[in-house]
A and B are shown apart, each in its own frame.
Chain A
Amino acid sequence: MKPVIALTKGRLEKQFLQFFQYLDFEAEPLLDKGRKLQIETEQFSFFFAKGVDVTTYVENGIADLGVVGGDTLIEHKPDVYNLFPLPFGQCRMALATKADYSWPDRKNRIASTFTNITKDYFREKGESVDIIRLEGSVELAPILGLADAIVDIVETGTTLKENGLVIQDEFLSFSARLIANRSSLKVKRDQLVPVIERFKEGAKQR
């Protein structure tokens, strides 16, 4: 059976394809896939899913390898081999508030999609906060008064700036990563190791 690779839909998908082509793998069927969620190439079976679902599929052995953002791995801590960074999808975590915001004299409220990362960050700082979980458009929370601050992923910082938010602190920087199922890596090593090595070499060069 061909190696099965789970890819994160959206932003990482395009960057992965560029990298994949750069490594001289056959990428043709992936380029015009339309809305299909599963694509076969000569060498691999691919499927596309949301980042956190990629980790779930890899953890459960449905996919042998996965390409996923480092943020997802830190947030969800799946039980997989978290092999190495890939040369795309570079991001950071940031704590942001409204410009000139003065923190109120009470326990602060922090909105985030990354509740575990937020919890760990404030624990490390020794500060108790209440965390409000949001699914998206986190920037709205401080502006509309739902939270004092947000913890969110930033690539360039443009979204924050356009919404009148200012970065107060930056922590954790990461990129996309290659992950592998714990037993696939051993049982299918003859198939997987050459692929992993090519990814590793490519990642070093870029």
Chain B
Amino acid sequence: MFLPAGSQDETGVQIANRLKASEIFRKVSEKRNFKAISTPVVEYAHTFTNEIAGMDLQSMLKWFNSEGEIEVLRPDWTAAVARAIAKQHQSFQKWSYQGSVFRMDKDGTENRQAGIEIVHADPFLGESECLLTAIQYLKEIGLEEYVIELGHTAIFEQIIKPLKLDLKEEEALRMAMHDKRMDLVEELLSNYPEEIKDALVQLIDAYGGSDVITHYEHVWANQPELLAILQHIRQLINLLEATGVSEVIVDLGRVKNLPYYDGIMFRGFVTTDGSTCFSGGRYDRLYKQFEQETSAVGLAFDVDQLALHMETKDSLTKACIIATPETHSIAEKYREDLPEDIVDIQYHVHNEAIYSAIYTVILDNNQYKVVKR
């Protein structure tokens, strides 16, 4: 029997690490006063493909139900949580979730996520709490070498505002910025004012440490909207650095990769191999579909990625008791004497090297006894 492309079996350490990552997430989020929420795996496609959520139906796992409506396997948590909590009272809420998302455009079809959503909170408080939760969580699972990257959707949008591009042009330009494709940005803006074109071309390379912000504070000295964004980002960086994060970088040229992003965007990279361990941002817009003017921000961890980076070593010692069908019950009872160990009972041991201690059941004065070899 075979597996479809993108599906995967899991065994042993992989599962243990993933469950451990989930358990630590549950504890960290609970301690920070997040309330757990779970939404169903099967939803209407419309929840994710509507004009505001704007996700691509093509990459979803989908089918028609008996009424002819398209249903999907949950492709995204944020839009699902927004749907679930939209009817609730509009007061400060912190939600945490854990579960799979299913997409065909990613490496594996099923991707396990753990994440948080903060709604109706002071914007800076919400963003800080998201990032600080991420930092605490990464610390508790033992992932130390990572970089946090900050970006902001409004930088690109503010710069192109005077161009009054139509939707198609704007999207083409956004994609070119997303790919950091210098020549295409130049080409798309060849009939527009030189200074805006140059500003965008330079923005492609505006990534790096906080010196990038310092530089752009000078460049945008006369543009209060952009300065306010820089100040906002700097304030977040100061907070993160004060809590001892090793490296925070910015990418001022980053554009939104999900249509509903609307403000600050964040992402965590594992330094050792560059994999993305979390991503998120602000998406107040998402709540507009429910006629709510509110503040909403969140982030999600890729739990599969985190599990790959966790220590694989077993922390418990492994013991083996060699028994026979007659002495199996004696060996079973002896487990109680080894509460801290992983205990295996075998009738024959083929590979003694995998155990740190071996016990046998012997007959001594007509009494069974377990002795260490």
Contacts and interface: CB of A to CB of B under 8 A. Distances in A.
A84 B181 contact: yes
A189 B274 contact: no
Interface stretch (A47-55, A94-102, A179-187): A179-187
A186 B271 CA distance: 10
Interface string A72-92: 000000001111110000000
Contacts of A186: 147, 149, 207, 249, 251, 269
B183 A183 contact: no
A33 to B, nearest CB: 27
Contacts of A184: 274
Contacts of B179: 80-82
B180 interface: yes
Interface residues of B, number: 18
A183 B180 contact: no
User: Which of A180, A187, A200 is packed against the most chain B CB atoms within 10 Å?
Assistant: A187
A6 B13 CA distance: 33
B195 interface: no
Q: Which secondary structure dominates chain A's binding surface?
A: mixed
A61 interface: yes
Give the interface residue-count category, chain A: 10 to 19
Contacts, number: 43
User: Which of A61, A180, A189 is packed against the most chain B CB atoms within 10 Å?
Assistant: A189
B208 interface: yes
Given A61-B274, A61-B275, A189-B207, A183 B269 contact: yes
A189 B208 contact: yes
Nearest to B204: A83
Interface string B270-313: 01011110000000000000000000000000000000000000
B269 A83 contact: no
B182 interface: yes
A82 B175 CA distance: 11
Given A186-B251, A189-B207, A189-B208, A181 B182 contact: no
Contacts of A80: 179
A83 B147 CA distance: 22
Contacts of B274: 61, 181, 183-184, 187-188
Contact of A82 (B180, B207, B251): B180
Interface in A186-206: 186-189, 193, 200
A61 B273 contact: yes
Contacts of A83: 180-182
A85 B273 contact: no
Contacts of B251: 186
A79 to B, nearest CB: 9
B23 to A, nearest CB: 27
Contacts of B276: 183
A43 B187 CA distance: 33
A85 B185 CA distance: 12
A180 B179 CA distance: 9
A198 to B, nearest CB: 14
Contacts of B147: 186-187
Contact of A183 (B181, B208, B275): B275
A183 B275 CA distance: 7
Nearest to A77: B179
A172 B271 CA distance: 38
A21 to B, nearest CB: 24
A85 B269 contact: no
A187 B269 contact: yes
A187 B271 contact: yes
3 closest Cβ contacts across the A-B interface?
A183-B274, A82-B179, A81-B180
Given A80-B179, A186-B269, A187-B147, 9 more contacts: A61-B273, A81-B179, A83-B182, A84-B182, A85-B183, A183-B274, A187-B269, A189-B207, A193-B208
24 contacts: A61-B273, A61-B274, A61-B275, A80-B179, A81-B179, A81-B180, A82-B180, A83-B180, A83-B181, A83-B182, A84-B181, A84-B182, A180-B180, A181-B274, A183-B274, A183-B276, A184-B274, A185-B180, A186-B249, A186-B269, A187-B147, A187-B274, A193-B208, A200-B182
